[in-house]
Amino acid sequence: YESFTADWGPGPAVRKEFEAECGCDLEFVSVADGVALLNRVKLEGAGTKADVVLGLDTNLTADAKASGLFAPHGAVADLNVPGGWKDDTFVPFDYGYFAVVYDTEKLKTPPKSLKELVEGAGPDKIIIQDPRTSTPGLGLLLWVKSVYGDKAPEAWAKLKPKVLTVTPGWSEAYGLFTKGEAPMVLSYT
């Protein structure tokens, strides 16, 4: 992620410690989010220079494995991840939830659930991301499918008038939100 490799993120400290430990040079290549990251690795194919890919979420691991571009990591002992975790290829380094972030000054009674967001009568707008290019966008797509099942198309039709715009990624969406373009944005916790 760009937030990982930024000067204010953990990347510079990780680089310093890693290079001191291994006596090598570490180069970060940053992209907007996990979907963009997986798409890049798949485009590069077997010729990718990446040794480690950091930033895929659980919605992407099956596709990543199917690409044949990821190798098993070996045993990792004592992982304590909420909900558990067992995978021979991917190792979690953090976790979070998708959430609707809202402006408390503009929105006094925000939706308390996805159903309230979709089915509520309020005129308030939300900024969401494209599931083809964004991890939160894919997360929302799967969240709607999980909650609504076969009725997901109807839910999307109800949500559509509340969507201000669909951005390629989280950074664009959150930037519009912080500029006051809409009182809600799809984000992470």
CA distances from 84 to 2, 75, 91, 136 (A): 27, 15, 12, 22
Burial of 140 (0-12, 13-18, 19+ CB in 10 A): buried
| Top-tier CATH class for 98-188 | alpha beta
Answer yes or no: is pLDDT of 111 > 80: yes
- Residue-wise pLDDT for 14-69, tens only, equals 999 999 999 999 999 998 788 889 999 999 999 999 999 999 988 999 999 999 99
Place of tokens 């558990």: 84
- Residue-wise pLDDT for 116-148, tens only, equals 999 998 789 999 999 998 989 999 999 999 999
Q: Tell me the H-state helices in the chain.
A: 2-5, 11-22, 34-44, 61-66, 114-119, 135-148, 152-159, 170-178
Residues in contact with 42: Cβ distance below 8 Å, sequence separation at least 6, in sequence order = 67, 69
State how far the Cα of 14 lies from the Cα of 12, in Å rounded to an integer. 5
- What pLDDT was estimated at residue 103? 98
Q: Are strands 126-129 and 163-167 parallel, antiparallel or unpaired?
A: parallel
pTM: 0.81
User: Would you list the domain boundaries of the chain?
Assistant: 98-188
For residues 177 and 165, the answer to whether their CB atoms sit within 8 Å is: no
